């Protein structure tokens, strides 16, 4: 018994870390990514057609150069035509654009934006000495040109059509017997069109030029108030086309005919 050798038992520790210690993390990350993609698809399916086209356009052309490329505007608008429901948002964005002008403090009380039944109406109102146009003239002032250029650069990115109106106060224009408030109101609207088309507005975007003279006063109780002299820009919203009615199936027509014959 003195020569008996000791029995040595060697136990090996299982090391699973080298085989699949981090594999579950990769699988979980793939699962979370797939779920996120699923939720995005479900959200898009329930979104408006405009949102679907915008998102689809972005993936087709991330640079934003295609006709429908997500958001082609960095400021006011989007690449699809704006409907009536979109106008309040556009109004807010255009107001931000106007606030960035150097002359904003001098002009802020002479600019009014309103969403109307016709579209987004922007009123550029004159002061006693003239604000956007030289007094008694159809030539835009420096402030007027700056404002028109800023608006044109934003509106030109939209497919919506634009109308321009010219208005005067009730004071007769007496400098020339052959030139009166009718001519002045129309000439100012047309001068605004020229400036805007030279600075971003498309040539096919203007639908109408209207000269109203003193026939649509802002302040009827004070026809000679300077604010009655103004230029109005109306960005017209697009009317969503009605969905065509589905034709009645032949079986339904036959049944309806039978009912009427009874």
At residue 95, the 3 state secondary structure works out as: helix
**Which residues, in sequence order, are bridge partners of residue 231?**
124, 166
Rounded Cα gap, residues 85 and 186, in angstroms: 31
- At residue 234, the pLDDT reads 96
Beta-strand runs (E) in 142-181: 162-167
- DSSP state, 133? B
- At residue 78, the pLDDT reads 42
> Is residue 178 within 8 Å of 154, Cβ to Cβ?
no
The rounded Cα 168 to chain-centroid distance in angstroms is 30
CATH node for 81-236: 3.30.1330.60
**Residue 97, phi then psi, degrees to nearest 5:** -65, -45
- At residue 67, the pLDDT reads 42
CA-based Rg of the chain, rounded to a whole angstrom?
33
Output the six-digit token pair for 106: 């001098």
- Break the chain into its structural domains and give their ranges: 47-80, 81-236
- At residue 220, the pLDDT reads 92
- At residue 249, the pLDDT reads 55
Mean pLDDT (10-residue bins), the chain, 262 residues: 67 57 81 87 73 65 44 43 79 91 91 92 93 92 95 92 95 80 96 96 94 95 94 85 54 52 52
Please state the pTM of the whole predicted model: 0.62
**Which residues, in sequence order, are bridge partners of residue 140?**
133
- At residue 125, the pLDDT reads 96
Output the six-digit token pair for 104: 């904003």
- At residue 173, the pLDDT reads 77
- At residue 75, the pLDDT reads 45
- At residue 3, the pLDDT reads 64
- Burial label, 185 (beta-carbon count in 10 A; 0-12, 13-18, 19+): buried
- Among candidate residues 237, 238, 149, 166, the one with its CA nearest the CA of residue 201: 149
């Amino acid at each position: 018994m003195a020569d008996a050798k000791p029995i040595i038992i060697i136990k090996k520790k299982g090391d699973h870390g080298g085989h699949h210690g981090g594999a579950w993390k990769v699988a979980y990350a793939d699962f979370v990514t797939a779920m996120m993609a699923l939720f995005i698809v479900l959200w898009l399916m329930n979104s408006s057609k405009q949102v679907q086209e915008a998102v689809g356009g972005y993936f087709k052309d991330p640079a934003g150069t295609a006709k429908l490329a997500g958001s082609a505007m960095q400021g006011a608008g989007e690449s699809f035509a704006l409907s009536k429901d979109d106008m309040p948002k556009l109004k807010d964005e255009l107001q931000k654009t106007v606030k960035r002008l150097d002359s904003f403090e001098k002009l802020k009380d002479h600019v009014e934006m309103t969403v109307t039944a016709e579209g987004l109406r922007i009123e550029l109102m004159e002061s006693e000495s003239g604000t956007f146009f030289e007094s008694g003239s159809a030539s835009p002032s420096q402030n007027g040109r700056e404002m028109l250029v800023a608006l044109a650069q934003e509106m030109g990115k939209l497919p919506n059509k634009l109308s321009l109106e010219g208005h005067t106060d009730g004071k007769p224009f007496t400098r020339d017997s052959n030139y009166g408030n009718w001519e002045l109101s129309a000439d100012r609207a047309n001068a605004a069109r020229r400036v805007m088309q030279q600075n971003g507005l498309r040539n096919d975007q203007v639908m109408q030029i209207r000269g109203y003279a003193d026939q649509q006063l802002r302040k009827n109780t004070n026809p000679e108030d300077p604010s009655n002299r103004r230029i109005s820009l109306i960005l017209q919203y697009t009317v969503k086309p009605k969905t065509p009615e589905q034709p009645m199936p032949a079986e339904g027509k036959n049944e309806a005919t039978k009912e009427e014959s009874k």
